[in-house]
Chain A
């Protein structure tokens, strides 16, 4: 009986756990937002998509305080990076000055910084395991 119950429980757990093992939950916290208006436009990238524009997932988060949070479901375990900008004026674009420099705040996962360009994949990447992940980015 005990054995049967254990097996049943194991099967049930396996059935339940199987999809979770392939698709975890990733929570991204963005802190240190200086202007409580507009939205945070956030893209989740894997290595294949990081250099381009096609994120594997993304979110647009209304800013009402100094932080926002988003949870992505169904994220396959692996390495990811986040690029985000604060669309302060809500025009849907990352604004730049006449010479092309961003005039709205931006950030990368790991709080990574670029050098004459965006932060490098190796500096911005983090792991999402089968147990999921919580990643916090601090704007500055």
Chain B
């Protein structure tokens, strides 16, 4: 089924689409570099002014009638200035996409987040700011974290306000329709310029929790569904661990203190990070109602970027899923080679494994590894913090290029894994759960995400049935152009 469906998609789209769109596939991209491998399309600049609204063409299948809303996504989309390439994928300027889906139609638009970094670098036509993997230019002034804010990692919608998220500085408020930048978001006057991680956790009722990481001190935001800050507190995690994501149950926040520790605050950030596996993977569990009520749990040393979500069993056992690495390899290299078009296959061995972390009420945590290799784990938003079945990941590796080749789901209840592999011709990004109308289980969901069709040279929006991803896409819309690979999104 998998192969035949994939081949059908290739046959149905490959020939016609390449013929029809191939010639103009790159019109939307600022640069076409014929000497680069096909996959380098995922690492090329978006046009300076983003993308004006453009309908996407239904290229395969039949759109679900109940699918209505917008996929907002963020990702680094300024990766070169002339001959100067970014050294690290995490440092490109954020491009906010909106793909609005209604009545079977999909319309794409995108705008860059208007930051000081982007304004000054556009003016100079050169990378100047320091970053996660970028040393930066001495002439670039840095009076606070927002001066180097790339606004490039994810998005959050709170009470109709769209926020572009980075992790070491403020969220940037955006107009959800025009995608124009309003400016840095201050949750309270005394919290101006505080970091706001790119992985806030939204409870099913709309309350948002997030962290601010500053060395060994971690701030905790509790934001009501109305968008008003309800509480802010500080906890200490003991060391300056790199924290990109975290997780929570209904009652607890779980701060994963991985043994990847900052030994130097000087840029670039990644150069100051040391792998100290002797610490193991420690987890600080914080009571949502009383931040001083804490306990620690311990697991074997692992590096991670992303969690799925956690829940607490009736006996107090906490379980969550995460993609865990034996050591921090990708984060160190950071896609610099890919941006230069130099991928050699070495990074193919850097496998993140979908793992369930089981924290008993007392004693060490256990790691239950699946066989699924992937990234960008996602769960149904109706079940964040609650017991559930499914997690989805962009999965599969090609021997010929970087990036994921398919979509996988794992059902923790049945132990069953499913996947669909597009093969070498599509680079697969994060897929989000969108609840089906009337359904009550997370299996009653659509999975909506973007892929980069390398054969046609265009970006696509794909929909799968979460219960049967191995059946292949339910439908695919195709843009008339491509945009660079991104990180995370939200459905609103």
Q: How far is the CA of A7 from the CA of B145 in the complex (A)?
A: 64
Q: Is the CB of B192 within 8 A of A97?
A: yes
Q: Which residue of B lies closest to A108 (CB)?
A: B143
Give the residues in chain A near B143, CB-CB below 8 Å.
106, 113-114
Residue A29 at the chain B interface, CB threshold 8 Å: no
Residue B234 at the chain A interface, CB threshold 8 Å: yes
Q: Is the CB of B142 within 8 A of A98?
A: no
Give the residues in chain B near A97, CB-CB below 8 Å.
190-194
A-B contact pairs, 6 of them (CB 8 A): A97-B190, A98-B191, A99-B195, A102-B144, A106-B143, A113-B141
Give the residues in chain B near A114, CB-CB below 8 Å.
141-143
Give the residues in chain A near B266, CB-CB below 8 Å.
116
Q: How far is the CB of B33 from chain A (nearest CB, A)?
A: 33
Q: Is the CB of B145 within 8 A of A101?
A: yes
Give the residues in chain B near A116, CB-CB below 8 Å.
142, 266
Give the residues in chain B near A103, CB-CB below 8 Å.
189-193
B residues in contact (CB < 8 Å) with A? 138, 140-145, 189-195, 212, 214, 217, 219, 232, 234, 266
Give the residues in chain B near A101, CB-CB below 8 Å.
144-145, 192-194
Q: Is the CB of A115 within 8 A of B142?
A: yes
Q: Which of B141, B145, B195, B214 lies in contact with A115, CB distance below 8 A?
A: B141
Give the residues in chain A near B193, CB-CB below 8 Å.
97, 101-103
Q: Is the CB of B192 within 8 A of A98?
A: no
Q: Which residue of B lies closest to A89 (CB)?
A: B189
Map CB proximity to B onto A84-102 as digits: 1 under 8 Å, 0 otherwise: 0000010000010111011
Q: How many residues of A contact B (CB 8 A)?
A: 13
Q: How far is the CA of A109 from the CA of B480 in the complex (A)?
A: 51
Q: How far is the CA of A132 from the CA of B145 in the complex (A)?
A: 38
Give the residues in chain B near A89, CB-CB below 8 Å.
189
Q: How far is the CA of A102 from the CA of B144 in the complex (A)?
A: 8
Q: Which residue of A lies closest to B145 (CB)?
A: A101
The residues in A between 60 and 105 inclusive whose CB is less than 8 angstroms from any CB of B are 89, 95, 97-99, 101-103
Q: Which residue of B lies closest to A115 (CB)?
A: B142
Q: Is the CB of B141 within 8 A of A99?
A: no
Q: How far is the CA of A65 from the CA of B190 in the complex (A)?
A: 23
Q: How far is the CB of A121 from chain B (nearest CB, A)?
A: 15
Q: How far is the CA of A108 from the CA of B168 in the complex (A)?
A: 25
Q: Is the CB of A115 within 8 A of B140?
A: yes
Q: Is the CB of A95 within 8 A of B190?
A: yes
Give the residues in chain A near B141, CB-CB below 8 Å.
113-115
The residues in A between 31 and 55 inclusive whose CB is less than 8 angstroms from any CB of B are none
Give the residues in chain A near B234, CB-CB below 8 Å.
98
Q: Is the CB of A99 within 8 A of B138?
A: no
Q: Which residue of A lies closest to B140 (CB)?
A: A115
Other A-B pairs beyond A103-B193, A115-B141, 6, CB < 8 Å: A97-B190, A101-B145, A101-B194, A102-B144, A103-B190, A114-B142
Q: Which of B140, B189, B194 lies in contact with A98, CB distance below 8 A?
A: B194
Give the residues in chain A near B145, CB-CB below 8 Å.
101
Q: How far is the CB of B162 from chain A (nearest CB, A)?
A: 23
Give the residues in chain A near B212, CB-CB below 8 Å.
98-99
Q: How far is the CA of A114 from the CA of B141 in the complex (A)?
A: 6
Q: Which residue of A lies closest to B267 (CB)?
A: A116
Q: Is the CB of A98 within 8 A of B144?
A: no
Give the residues in chain A near B232, CB-CB below 8 Å.
98
Q: Is the CB of B138 within 8 A of A98?
A: no
Q: Is the CB of B142 within 8 A of A99?
A: no
Map CB proximity to B onto A109-120 as digits: 1 under 8 Å, 0 otherwise: 000011110000
Give the residues in chain A near B138, CB-CB below 8 Å.
115
- For B140, B191, B217, B266, the residue with the greatest tally of chain A CB atoms inside 10 Å of its CB is B191
Q: How far is the CB of B191 from chain A (nearest CB, A)?
A: 6
Q: How far is the CA of A98 from the CA of B193 in the complex (A)?
A: 10
Give the residues in chain B near A95, CB-CB below 8 Å.
190
Q: How far is the CB of B390 from chain A (nearest CB, A)?
A: 37
Give the residues in chain A near B190, CB-CB below 8 Å.
95, 97-98, 103
Q: Which residue of A lies closest to B186 (CB)?
A: A103
Q: How far is the CB of A38 from chain B (nearest CB, A)?
A: 12
Q: How far is the CB of B214 from chain A (nearest CB, A)?
A: 4
Q: How far is the CA of A98 from the CA of B191 in the complex (A)?
A: 7
Q: How far is the CA of A89 from the CA of B192 in the complex (A)?
A: 14
Q: How far is the CB of B212 from chain A (nearest CB, A)?
A: 7
Q: How far is the CB of B399 from chain A (nearest CB, A)?
A: 43
Q: How far is the CA of A79 from the CA of B232 in the complex (A)?
A: 45
Q: Is the CB of B214 within 8 A of A99?
A: yes
Q: How far is the CB of B436 from chain A (nearest CB, A)?
A: 42
- For A89, A106, A115, the residue with the greatest tally of chain B CB atoms inside 10 Å of its CB is A115
Q: How far is the CB of B140 from chain A (nearest CB, A)?
A: 7
Name the 6 nearest CB pairs between A and B, nearest first. Answer: A113-B141, A99-B214, A103-B192, A101-B193, A115-B142, A97-B194
Q: How far is the CA of A98 from the CA of B190 in the complex (A)?
A: 8
- For B142, B143, B219, the residue with the greatest tally of chain A CB atoms inside 10 Å of its CB is B143
Q: How far is the CB of A86 from chain B (nearest CB, A)?
A: 13
Q: How far is the CB of B189 from chain A (nearest CB, A)?
A: 6
Q: Is the CB of A99 within 8 A of B217?
A: yes
Q: How far is the CB of A98 from chain B (nearest CB, A)?
A: 6
Q: How far is the CA of A89 from the CA of B189 in the complex (A)?
A: 10
Q: Which residue of A lies closest to B266 (CB)?
A: A116
Q: How far is the CB of A128 from chain B (nearest CB, A)?
A: 25
Give the residues in chain B near A115, CB-CB below 8 Å.
138, 140-142
Q: How far is the CB of A19 from chain B (nearest CB, A)?
A: 40
Q: How far is the CA of A114 from the CA of B144 in the complex (A)?
A: 9
Q: How far is the CB of A114 from chain B (nearest CB, A)?
A: 5
